[in-house]
Amino acid sequence: MKRFGALLTLVFTIITVLTGCESLLVLDPKGPQAEVQANDIKMSIYIMSFIVLVVFGLLAYMLIKYRASKQGKDYEPPHIEGNIVVEAICVGIPILIVAFLSFMSVKSNYAVESTPKGYENKKPLVVYATSSNWKWHFSYPEENIETVNYLYIPTNRPIEFKLYSHGPITSFWIPQLGGQKYAMADMVTTLHLAADVPGEYMGRNANFSGKGFAENTFNVKAMPQDEFEDWVKEVKGTAKPLTEQKFNELLEPGHLGQLTFTGTHLGFLPPPEGENGGHNHGSHNAKMGTEKNEASESILESEHNHH
């Protein structure tokens, strides 16, 4: 009886604490990609909760109905070698559950990896999101501006992020707009997102990348298209240009506030795309690329010595 009372107290305490928590960001979607993932999470929770309730209900039923105190002292259980129905249930139900969850996961993966539903005929805003220790750089090639540690995007328009890293592997994540995706130093990955609702959202690096990982965050503000265009005009009229020297300073390990520049680093430090972009470690192309770099360095060194 004491154990039962302690269990009830524990459950009541957990429920009381959880009622004071804010809603989980992943369950508060503000875009079509995030909504797909939130629905998957909720469906998984419902299925697992149903399984747990059924199992514990059967356990309680068996413990009460077939408890030892209900049997005589001379009772001996019958010898049963197997039961096809029971075995089919024990094996078949888990197979059906796993098959359903697998189908649901594959379907949602295709959905979140493609252009958001309803935005197929709209021109996307391309943003290069790159990380360094421990900050985020957002380049708008069409607008020719760049920001550090904050991101402005228009609502009701698809956003095509090009992700890569200037250091260790990081993970780009805006919980209310979609799932995380890795940014790596030797390749560019693409992430499709969209914001249906104007507002401010939290973004962060979701992959441990060193001692400054905890503060490797950025702010996201979604606004109507006309407000976004006004912001772009304001930046072009007030921000300082981004030089190669300044960008190299930004790449030094450390934390920074929010910065804004005209121009992007893509001109003097292009992303790892093209012939040598991607996972080609140890491949012929990677070897040829290394040889070309070494040859170029030798030529530059010779020209420098000549002068």
**Which pLDDT value is given to residue 145?**
97
**Which pLDDT value is given to residue 6?**
62
pLDDT greater at residue 300 or residue 117: 117
Asked which of 89-103, 198-212, 220-234, 262-276 is least confident by mean pLDDT, the reply is 262-276
Cα-based distances in Å from 19 to 12, 24, 25, 26, 167: 11, 12, 15, 17, 40
Summary mean pLDDT of the chain = 85
**Which pLDDT value is given to residue 69?**
79
**Which pLDDT value is given to residue 66?**
82
pLDDT in tens, 257-267: 999 999 999 99
Assign 3-class secondary structure to the chain.
Answer: CHHHHHHHHHHHHHHHHHHCCCCCHHHCCCCHHHHHHHHHHHHHHHHHHHHHHHHHHHHHHHHHHCCHHHCCCCCCCCCCCCCHHHHHHHHHHHHHHHHHHHHHHHHHHHHHHCCCCCCCCCCCEEEEEEEECCEEEEEECCCCEEEECEEEEECCCCEEEEEEECCCCEEEECCCCCCCEEEECCECEEEEECCCCCEEEEEEECCCCCCCHHHCEEEEEEECHHHHHHHHHHHHHHCEECCHHHHHHHCCCCCCCCEEEECCCCCCCCCCCCCCCCCCCCCHHHHHHHHHHHHHHHHHHHHHHHC
**Which pLDDT value is given to residue 197?**
95
Task: Please count the residues of the chain.
Answer: 307
Query: Does the pLDDT value for residue 26 go beyond 80?
Result: yes
**Which pLDDT value is given to residue 202?**
95
Residues sharing a CB contact under 8 Å with residue 34, sequence separation 6 or more, in sequence order? 26, 175, 176, 177, 178, 179
Query: Does the pLDDT value for residue 95 go beyond 70?
Result: yes
pLDDT in tens, 1-15: 566 556 666 656 665
**Which pLDDT value is given to residue 288?**
41
Average pLDDT over residues 220-227: 97
Asked which of 26-35, 91-100, 173-182, 268-277 is least confident by mean pLDDT, the reply is 268-277
CA 268 – CA 110 distance, rounded (Å): 35
**Which pLDDT value is given to residue 75?**
79
Q: What percentage of the chain exceeds 70 in pLDDT? A: 81
**Which pLDDT value is given to residue 13?**
64
**Which pLDDT value is given to residue 295?**
42
Model confidence at 82, pLDDT cuts 50, 70, 90, reads confident
Q: Is 129 left (phi over 0), alpha (psi -120 to 50) or beta?
A: beta
CA 248 – CA 251 distance, rounded (Å): 5
Model confidence at 289, pLDDT cuts 50, 70, 90, reads very low
Closest to 204 in 3D by CA, of 136, 272, 153: 136
Model confidence at 78, pLDDT cuts 50, 70, 90, reads confident
Asked which of 41-55, 67-81, 198-212, 216-230 is least confident by mean pLDDT, the reply is 67-81
